[in-house]
Amino acid sequence: MKLQSGKKLVVALLVVVAIVVGYFKFGAVLSLDYLAAQEETLRNYQQQQPVLTYVSAYLVYVTVTGLSIPGATVLTLLYAWFFGFLRGSILVSFASTAGATIAFLLSRYLFRGAIQDKFGDRLQQFNQALDKEGPFYLFTMRLIPAIPFFVINAVMGLTPMKASTFWWASQLGMLPATLVYVYAGSSVPTLGKLAEQGTGGILTPKLLLAFALLGVFPIVARYLLAKFRSQESKAEANV
């Protein structure tokens, strides 16, 4: 037990160090102003090393989201402008899900055992409900941009949800918001303009409407799911 606790403490310290170093060393790099100043350099590098650029961009995004380092929104807009809507959507979608899964597994490894040991009896009903409707709850939370990305990853890591379930529910749940952000970034002609406008300046009425619909969709989906289950129950009762 002590050995296991020691390993977890070492992992936790390594994660904290990585987050602190990453934030202070690369925090300024993950800003629109800095990236706008490097616009020509980035384009030249992409032309010389297209595959390496794509792979590097994927790994950077996974690292940032996996360690919960601030900058995912900026990276999303950058990749959208850099790679275009289609390739940017694919990259951001899979990289964000991979990073979220890493954060989920770290939270599970470091904290779930202690939480379950201390509150296991109180969490029994919650765990049972999560086994039944966990994917829907996660899918719903992913559709609401107001809920912080890293909070969902950390909290779900404390639950008994399977990593595979977390992965596909997150992949689907984050896709609509990803498409909206990538579309916003890909519509900007230059990084300089994006840096000047900021993330708020590119939100057109159409994009704001899209985000509003994202907030309403979970309610509609839950209503339709409840109606479907009600009809299913009636059909079984009539058999």
Q: In the prediction, which pLDDT does 62 show?
A: 93
Mean pLDDT of the chain: 76
Query: CA–CA distance from 22 to each of 27, 30, 64, 67, 71 (Å)?
Result: 7, 10, 8, 9, 11
Q: In the prediction, which pLDDT does 92 show?
A: 95
Q: Which residue has the tokens 């999303």?
A: 76
Cβ distance 83 to 53 under 8 Å?
no
Cβ distance 197 to 32 under 8 Å?
no
Q: Where are the domains of the chain?
A: 2-238
Q: What interhelical angle do 85-107 and 50-66 show, nearest 10?
A: 40
* pLDDT tens, position by position, 29-71: 666 677 777 777 878 888 888 889 899 999 999 998 988 887 7
Question: What is the sign, positive or negative, of the torsion defined by CA atoms of 81, 86, 91, 94?
Answer: positive
Backbone angles phi and psi of 152, in degrees to 5: -60, -45
Q: What is the DSSP letter of 24?
A: H
Q: In the prediction, which pLDDT does 95 show?
A: 95
> Higher confidence at residue 45 or residue 231?
45
Closest CA to 199 of 88, 69, 36, 74: 74
| pTM for the model | 0.76
Instruction: Indicate whether 152 pLDDT > 80.
Output: yes
Closest CA to 191 of 43, 27, 26: 43
Distance of CA 187 to the CA centre of its chain: 22
Q: Which of 2-16, 48-62, 89-103, 191-205 has the highest mean pLDDT?
A: 89-103
Q: How many CB atoms lie within 10 A of CB 74?
A: 20
> Higher confidence at residue 213 or residue 166?
166
With b for 16 or more beta-carbon neighbours within 10 A and e for fewer, the 36-56 pattern comes to beebeebeeeeeeeeeebbee
DSSP conformation letters of 41-88 = HHHHHHHH-HHHHHHHHHHHHHHHHHTT-S-HHHHHHHHHHHH-HHHH
Instruction: Indicate whether 120 pLDDT > 80.
Output: no
Instruction: Indicate whether 154 pLDDT > 90.
Output: no
Instruction: Indicate whether 97 pLDDT > 90.
Output: yes
> Higher confidence at residue 168 or residue 23?
168
With bands split at pLDDT 50, 70 and 90, how would you rate the model's confidence at 22?
low
> Higher confidence at residue 228 or residue 142?
142
Q: What is the DSSP letter of 189?
A: S
Q: Which of 96-110, 142-156, 181-195, 223-237 has the highest mean pLDDT?
A: 96-110
Rounded Cα gap, residues 62 and 54, in angstroms: 12
pLDDT over 90, % of the chain: 14
